[in-house]
Amino acid sequence: MKSKFIKTGLASLILSVSGFSNAGLITHNNYTLDTNTNIVSSGATEWLQWDETVGESITSASASYAADGWVVADNNRMASLFTDFGWTAP
C-alpha cells in the first residue's frame, strides 16, 4: 500500500513539473519530434502523431489530412518504424 502512494506521488510530481518544460525538438534514434507541430521526422519521412487523429476513423483521418499529402503507412513502413525503436515480433 505504501509503494502505491509513492508511485502515485512520483507520477503526480513528474506530471506537474513537466508542464513547465518547453521542448521544441526531441530526438531519439535518428527520429526527431517537433512538439510544436506534433510531427516525427526521419530524413524525408514524416510521421503524424496518433493523438492528432483521436476519435477519427481511418477513413475520416485520411480525408482530413490527404490534402496536405498525408497517407496511411503500409505494413513495411510500420515494421521499419517499430524495428528502429527496438520493438520486434517474438
List, for residues 32-84, the tens digit of each pLDDT value.
888 888 888 888 888 888 888 889 998 998 888 888 888 888 888 888 888 88
What is the rounded distance in angstroms from the CA atom of residue 55 to the CA atom of residue 76? 25
Give the DSSP per-residue string, 19-70.
TT---SEEEETTEEEETTTTEEEETTEEEE-GGGGTT--HHHHHHHHGGGT-
Whether the model pTM is above 0.75: no
**How do the domains of the chain map onto residue ranges?**
22-84
- Long-range pairs of 34-40 with CB within 8 A, sequence gap ≥ 24: none
Q: What is the mean pLDDT of the chain?
A: 76
